């Protein structure tokens, strides 16, 4: 038994006469009682990239917790999963095994690896691209269906040029999945988001080094629980139409539009990585040629495919009507995720303006962010924003920039800006 | 000289088979009439762009594939039908199926209800299931009244099945009228406001519309509905996922002489509803059922063609064991 994929479409299919734009939210859920059963999960390989730059010793709890977390991740690996531990500085060094290869997890290799990790010392610079480059080399020798890296850093990517970093990311794209985490106060949210976005993983910052072991366990468990590899979103659209965008909108916003791989004139694939028992939402927006009132057109056929088989498929329709009560109805899901996507971008734009000293733009953007977070009940983001701005009135988005902001608060707000919440599906009836 | 005991001599003495019933004039062997039916269901070509396919939506232009043909002419000689999209509607949601079997003629007309989605799927599903069930019943010994009821039940089931899992508000729905012509009787059954007319001696409309206006006009008490407007032509019975109705009203007629049974949707009787006028229009210059069906369709189109049109014409009496 493999995972059961199901999908649901939320849209207002009714367009006014001459209307062209069709928006839909597709919720895809992979489930199955045996999804976590060892016999159905995919073969896996994992590389742990631990920042051992000198700053990891300031304070010493960072390197201590990072070692503990790495040990926990090693213990979470299933028997037989190929793994390696890499120490990252201005270069990348094999910690375990001693040479550039991966070894299968078993009681002996786990013990050896943990012993090697315990001897780690913090010393050196930060060049994340070099670490990823070594991970890519290690994975290239593996046949595993899920290739997963964990990247931990505490500082800015100082010891390589942005061009070199980008070149490595491009080389790694599609080769393995990478979850990245920042610890301490000096990591840079945009760098972590870039890694996560390109390598189809997650990015987050940890406020306290003591959260590291739990985070490493969760990332490793999620990777071990993947049961379908190389899943792509496949979108068919009719002749004469244009795809405005395809975005993942839950659990985080990720614009997939430019990642399209043409399958045929009508069909394109968008990579989504590997799936375990999980649920993701997508927002697709298509511009179609208007038809006569009363006519119905298939605006998009939306499916998930893996290895040539269709896991689930849904239709996005367009129907033209002269009934304005129907055509003007706003779909709550579409409205909600349009707001969540705007929330992510106004946070990023607001923080950027703030860094550049553009108080007016920063205040306007972050004010709008507070308003959107408030409207959508996104408490996590609302709380983070309150560390960066003083909220005068949330419903109108009236804010003042805080004079003193801890650097990490701005980075946390930034790295989590793409995290979305779902709309409460069914509002309880009044009375 | 070879000749058929029922139909006399062939047109040419060399013919070895009777042109009417197919009897072998040398051996005297009669032909078992094969059961044949024809439907107005469309082929595979998209009306939007011309690409062919079988998916419910065109794989090239995305338009919902029409279930029925914009214009269809079905001809089994003794029974024939024409359906047309008309001049106002974007699609033809009327469906018609005709059939002949060893013993008579069968037809069903269904009118897709235009306020519901994909009602052409309901109308074609219902018309085809209805005719199939009627033929099955008649050829296994059921009488026409029983067969009529079985046909409507099968049609109701098919119309319900036309609804997709996500269509709750206005699922596909349609009307239903069936006609069976045997050597001695005409049997009609209906749910909704598509009609059956007897065109011949003592012409008559055989059906009573399932609308408030239809019931009142027939001298029946006003049905108990939410909106008791006596002039309302809104359907009070139909087939579809939002209906539990499946029991047709049934009328049997033993005509005094030769004539035709006409089944039609409101796309025709909106323009021509008087039985005598219909009989006159049907017998003026037209000899064969297909010509009658074509002519009546043309009348509706010339009148304005505000709705889809479906017309089926069945010859009475149906000749036993005859293909004619
Ligand atoms: Zn004969
Ligand atoms: Zn087409």
Same domain, A176 and A263: no
Does the CB of A33 have a partner CB in chain B at under 8 Å?
Answer: no
Does the CB of B61 have a partner CB in chain A at under 8 Å?
Answer: yes
Question: Does some domain include residue A428?
Answer: no
Partner residue opposite A297 with nearest CB, options B63, B89, B117: B63
A179-193, A210-224, A338-352, A415-429, range with the lowest pLDDT: A415-429
Same domain, A144 and A158: yes
- Name the fold adopted by B36-322: Phosphatase 2c; domain 1 (3.60.40)
Same domain, A101 and A174: yes
CATH number at residue A386: 1.20.120.1690
Contacts of B92 in chain A (CB under 8 A): none
| pLDDT at res. A203 | 94
Ordered DSSP codes for A312-334: EEEEEEEEE-S-HHHHTPPPHHH
User: How many angstroms separate the CA atoms of A109 and B2, rounded?
Assistant: 100
State how far residue B61 is from chain A, nearest Cα, in angstroms: 5
The H-or-E segment that residue B158 falls in is helix B144-161
Same domain, A86 and A214: yes
Domain parsing of chain B, residue ranges:
1-31, 36-322
Residue of A10, A297, A302 to mutate, testing the B interface (most B Cβ within 10 Å of its Cβ): A297
- Provide the residue range defining the domain that includes A27: 4-32+229-243+258-324
Average pLDDT, chain A: 90
**A68-106 residue pLDDT tens:** 999 999 999 999 999 999 999 988 999 999 899 999 999
Same domain, A284 and A411: no
State how far residue B60 is from chain A, nearest Cα, in angstroms: 6
Same domain, A25 and A108: no
Of the candidates B123, B109, B149, B132, the one whose C-alpha atom is nearest the C-alpha of residue B247 is B149
pTM of the complete model beyond 0.90: no
Same domain, A262 and A297: yes
Does the CB of A284 have a partner CB in chain B at under 8 Å?
Answer: no
Q: Is B196 helix (H, G, I), strand (E, B) or coil?
A: strand
- The total number of structural domains in chain A stands at 3
Centre of ligand 1 from the C-alpha of residue A347, in Å: 88
Question: Does some domain include residue A422?
Answer: no
Question: Does some domain include residue A411?
Answer: yes
pLDDT at B322 over 50: no
CB–CB of B62 and A241 under 8 A? yes
pLDDT at B168 over 60: no
Question: Does some domain include residue A38?
Answer: no
Does the CB of B59 have a partner CB in chain A at under 8 Å?
Answer: yes
Contacts of A239 in chain B (CB under 8 A): 49, 60-62
Same domain, A69 and A141: yes
Question: Quick count: other Cβ atoms within 10 Å of Cβ B92?
Answer: 27
CATH number at residue A100: 3.40.50.410
Of the candidates A92, A84, A83, the one whose C-alpha atom is nearest the C-alpha of residue A52 is A92
| Cβ-based contacts under 8 A for chains A and B | 41
Question: Does some domain include residue A409?
Answer: yes
ipTM over 0.90: no
Question: Does some domain include residue A248?
Answer: no
Relative to beta strand B195-199, strand B204-205 is antiparallel
pLDDT at A430 over 60: no
Q: Which ligand number lies closest to the CA of residue B18? A: 1
Ordered DSSP codes for A8-47: EEEE--EE-TT--EEEEEEEEEEE-TTTT-TTTSPPEEEE
Same domain, A366 and A401: yes
Question: Does some domain include residue A423?
Answer: no
Does the CB of A291 have a partner CB in chain B at under 8 Å?
Answer: yes
Same domain, A204 and A66: yes
Centre of ligand 2 from the C-alpha of residue B53, in Å: 9
**A8-61 residue pLDDT tens:** 999 999 999 999 999 999 999 998 645 445 566 788 999 999 999 888 888 888
CB–CB of A298 and B117 under 8 A? no
């Amino acid at each position: 038994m493999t995972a059961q994929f199901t999908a649901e479409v939320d849209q207002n299919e009714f367009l006014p006469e001459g209307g062209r734009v069709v928006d839909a939210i597709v919720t895809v859920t992979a489930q199955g009682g045996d999804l976590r059963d060892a016999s159905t999960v995919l073969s896996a390989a994992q590389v742990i990239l631990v920042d051992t730059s000198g700053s990891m010793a300031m304070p010493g709890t960072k390197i201590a917790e990072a070692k503990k977390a790495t040990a926990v991740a090693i213990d979470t690996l299933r028997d037989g999963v190929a793994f390696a531990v890499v120490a990252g500085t201005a270069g990348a060094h094999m910690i375990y095994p001693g040479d550039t290869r991966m070894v299968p997890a078993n009681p002996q290799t786990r013990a050896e690896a943990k012993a090697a990790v315990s001897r780690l010392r913090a010393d050196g610079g930060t060049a994340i691209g070099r670490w990823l480059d070594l991970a890519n080399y290690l994975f290239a020798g593996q046949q595993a269906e899920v290739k997963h890296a964990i990247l931990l850093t505490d500082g800015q990517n100082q010891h390589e040029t942005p061009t070199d970093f980008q070149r490595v990311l491009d080389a790694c794209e599609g080769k393995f999945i990478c979850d990245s985490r920042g610890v301490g106060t000096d990591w840079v949210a945009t760098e972590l988001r870039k890694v996560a976005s390109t390598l189809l993983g997650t990015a987050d910052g940890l406020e306290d080094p003591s959260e590291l072991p739990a985070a490493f366990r969760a990332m490793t468990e999620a990777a071990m629980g993947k049961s379908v590899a190389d899943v792509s979103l496949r979108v068919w659209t009719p002749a004469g139409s244009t795809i405005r965008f395809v975005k993942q909108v839950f659990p985080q916003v990720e614009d997939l539009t430019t990642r399209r791989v043409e399958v045929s004139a009508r069909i394109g694939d968008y990579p989504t990585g590997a799936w375990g028992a999980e649920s993701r939402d997508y927002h697709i927006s298509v511009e179609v040629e208007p038809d006569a009132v009363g006519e119905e057109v298939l605006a998009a056929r939306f499916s998930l495919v893996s290895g040539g088989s269709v896991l689930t498929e849904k239709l996005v329709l367009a129907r033209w009507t002269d009934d304005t009560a129907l055509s003007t109805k706003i779909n709550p899901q579409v409205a909600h995720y349009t707001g969540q996507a705007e929330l992510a971008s106004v946070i990023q734009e607001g923080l950027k303006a703030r860094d550049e000293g553009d108080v007016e733009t920063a205040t306007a953007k972050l004010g709008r962010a507070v308003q959107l977070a408030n409207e959508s009940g996104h408490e996590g983001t609302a709380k983070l924003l309150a560390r960066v701005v003083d909220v005068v009135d949330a419903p109108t988005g009236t804010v003042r920039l805080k004079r003193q902001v801890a650097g990490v608060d701005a980075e946390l707000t930034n790295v989590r800006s793409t995290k979305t919440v779902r709309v409460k599906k069914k509002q309880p009836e009044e009375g | 000289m070879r000749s058929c005991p029922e139909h006399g001599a062939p047109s040419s003495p060399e013919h070895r088979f009777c042109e009417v019933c197919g009897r072998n004039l040398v051996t005297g062997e009669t032909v078992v009439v094969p059961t044949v039916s024809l439907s107005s269901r469309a082929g595979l070509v998209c009306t939007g762009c011309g690409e062919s396919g079988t998916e419910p939506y065109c794989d090239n232009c995305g338009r919902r594939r029409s279930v029925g043909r914009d214009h269809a002419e079905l001809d089994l000689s003794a029974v024939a039908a024409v359906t047309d999209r008309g001049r106002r509607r974007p699609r033809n949601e009327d469906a018609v199926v005709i059939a002949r079997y060893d013993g008579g003629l069968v037809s069903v007309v269904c009118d897709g209800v235009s306020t519901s989605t994909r009602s052409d799927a309901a109308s074609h599903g219902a018309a085809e299931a209805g005719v199939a069930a009627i033929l099955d019943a008649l050829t296994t010994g059921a009488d026409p009244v029983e067969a009529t009821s079985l046909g409507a039940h099968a049609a109701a089931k098919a119309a319900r099945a036309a609804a997709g899992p996500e269509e709750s508000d206005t699922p596909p729905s349609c009307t239903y009228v069936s006609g069976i012509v045997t050597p001695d009787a005409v049997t009609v059954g209906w749910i909704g406001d598509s009609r059956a007319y007897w065109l011949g001696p003592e012409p008559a409309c055989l059906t009573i519309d399932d609308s408030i206006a239809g019931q009142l006009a027939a001298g029946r008490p006003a049905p108990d509905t939410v909106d008791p407007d006596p002039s309302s032509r809104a359907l009070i019975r139909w087939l579809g996922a939002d209906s539990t109705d499946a029991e047709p009203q049934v009328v049997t007629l033993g005509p005094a002489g030769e004539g035709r049974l006409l089944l039609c949707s409101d796309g025709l009787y909106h323009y021509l509803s008087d039985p005598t006028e219909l009989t006159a229009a049907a017998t003026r210059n037209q000899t064969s059922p297909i010509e009658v069906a074509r002519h009546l369709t043309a009348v509706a189109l010339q009148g304005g063609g505000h709705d889809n049109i479906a017309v089926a014409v069945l010859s009475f009496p149906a000749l036993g064991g005859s293909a004619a």
